């Protein structure tokens, strides 16, 4: 059987497909699995994954409609099955599945905006289950291929030995306990509102003595990282990690003792290389996207309005006056204690 995995937007979303890909190939090594990516970062995340036979990159967002249609129609007739892994509740994903034309088009029906996003264009579907993690939602789809998953494995980022060595070499020999910080998130569709205030990160770092801190993030995170770097008291304890590829970032994160992050792709990247995570949640639901397969502490406020985010094409907005108290009211002491508690467990 020839199977195509259709693209997802985020780094974390793609990493959360890797347990399902592993189960699929372990059960049917004779099946051919092709993964289609629309960003270079997500392509690099899946590169070297032994459970993928073919990896294709096409920049849909940078291409005009004629170029995109020509590419899509080049795929027609090549696949017996397409899979829209979770979450792909946007009509573009479903139109893509329909145009690729596989006989089996597997995916979810969604509790919100299901018809508006054309989820009926898939013909093997299961309704999303708000009790499940995204990893479990993806694994559930394998039942349409007569695969009973059993135990669900960890997410995996397959680094080479050379990449791991370069990651270790990044740190100085006398480094203290090494803590990564991701103060950003994707800015897409208002998701910058998933960020714990940058002022809180400054106070957090100042409250922790005897550690080395490493700031991670891309262009969307530069303002927050620069603010933190400029305002902490002890500049000797902080390092700004930048100018690296996503695989190099993963290798450096692998060398850390702990990672502190908003709900972001780098949070999942840390989990995929088995680094313990302190994860800060606001409008999103940790039941869906908590770090999978690594030791972690989830931090959130149990507000009546939270979590409020669900998967759709609409931007993220606060429904209680735009204040995002779910993040702003999380105290520095709460995160401080979670870091100390988790470090005591893993070191």
pLDDT at residue 318 in the model:
64
Per-residue model confidence as pLDDT tens digits over 295-314: 999 999 887 767 767 666 66
pLDDT at residue 319 in the model:
73
Per-residue model confidence as pLDDT tens digits over 109-130: 999 999 999 999 999 999 999 8
pLDDT at residue 208 in the model:
94
Helices (H) and strands (E) in the chain, counts: 14, 12
Phi, psi for 3 (deg, rounded to 5): -120, 135
Domains and CATH numbers, the chain: 2-145 (3.40.50.2000), 161-346 (3.40.50.2000)
Other Cβ atoms less than 10 A from the Cβ of 232: the count is 19
pLDDT at residue 306 in the model:
76
- Containing H/E element for 41? helix 40-46
Spatial distance between the Cα atoms of 156 and 344, rounded to a whole number of angstroms? 25
Rounded to the nearest integer, the mean pLDDT of the chain is 92
User: Dihedral of CA 263/157/30/57: which sign?
Assistant: positive
- Residue whose structure tokens are 């573009």: 92
Within 13 Å of residue 187, how many CA atoms lie on the same side as its CB?
8
pLDDT at residue 184 in the model:
87
Q: Which of the four pLDDT bands, split at 50, 70 and 90, describes residue 188?
A: low
Q: Which of the four pLDDT bands, split at 50, 70 and 90, describes residue 222?
A: very high
Other Cβ atoms less than 10 A from the Cβ of 346: the count is 11
99: Cβ contacts below 8 Å, ≥ 6 apart: 69, 72, 73, 76
Spatial distance between the Cα atoms of 228 and 245, rounded to a whole number of angstroms? 22
Residue 236 has pLDDT above 90, yes or no: no
How many Å is the Cα radius of gyration of the chain? 20
Pairing assessment for the beta strands 177-182 and 258-262 based on DSSP bridges: parallel
pLDDT at residue 345 in the model:
92
pTM above 0.85, yes or no: yes
Residue 323 has pLDDT above 90, yes or no: no
């Amino acid at each position: 059987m020839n199977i195509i995995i259709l693209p997802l937007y985020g780094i974390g979303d793609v990493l959360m497909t890797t347990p399902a890909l592993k189960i699929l190939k372990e059960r049917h090594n004779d099946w051919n699995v092709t993964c289609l990516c629309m960003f270079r970062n997500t392509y690099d995340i899946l590169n070297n994954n032994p459970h993928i036979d073919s990896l294709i990159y096409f920049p849909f967002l940078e291409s005009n409609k004629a170029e995109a249609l020509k590419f899509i129609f080049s795929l027609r007739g090549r696949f017996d099955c397409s899979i829209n892994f979770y979450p792909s509740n946007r009509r573009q994903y479903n139109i893509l599945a329909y145009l690729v034309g596989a006989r089996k088009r597997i995916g979810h029906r969604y509790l919100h905006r299901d018809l508006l996003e054309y989820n009926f264009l898939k013909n093997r579907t299961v309704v999303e289950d708000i009790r499940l993690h995204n990893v479990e939602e993806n694994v559930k789809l394998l039942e349409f291929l007569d695969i009973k998953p059993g135990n669900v494995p960890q997410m995996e980022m397959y680094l080479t030995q050379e990449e791991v060595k370069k990651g270790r070499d990044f740190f100085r020999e006398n480094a203290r306990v090494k803590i990564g910080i991701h103060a950003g998130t994707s800015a897409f569709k208002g998701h910058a509102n998933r960020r714990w205030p940058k002022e809180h990160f400054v106070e957090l770092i100042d409250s922790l003595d005897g550690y080395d801190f490493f700031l991670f993030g891309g262009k969307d995170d530069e303002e927050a990282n620069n603010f933190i770097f400029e305002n902490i008291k002890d500049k000797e304890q902080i390092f700004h990690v930048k100018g690296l590829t996503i695989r190099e970032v993963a290798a450096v994160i692998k060398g850390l003792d702990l990672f502190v992050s908003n709900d972001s792709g780098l949070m999942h990247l840390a989990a995929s290389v088995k680094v313990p995570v302190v994860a800060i949640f606001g409008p999103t639901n940790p039941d869906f996207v908590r770090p999978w397969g690594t030791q972690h502490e989830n931090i959130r406020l149990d507000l009546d309005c939270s979590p409020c985010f669900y998967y759709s094409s609409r931007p993220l907005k606060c429904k209680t006056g735009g204040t995002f108290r779910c993040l702003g009211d999380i105290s520095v002491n709460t995160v401080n204690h979670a870091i100390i508690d988790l470090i005591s467990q893993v070191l």
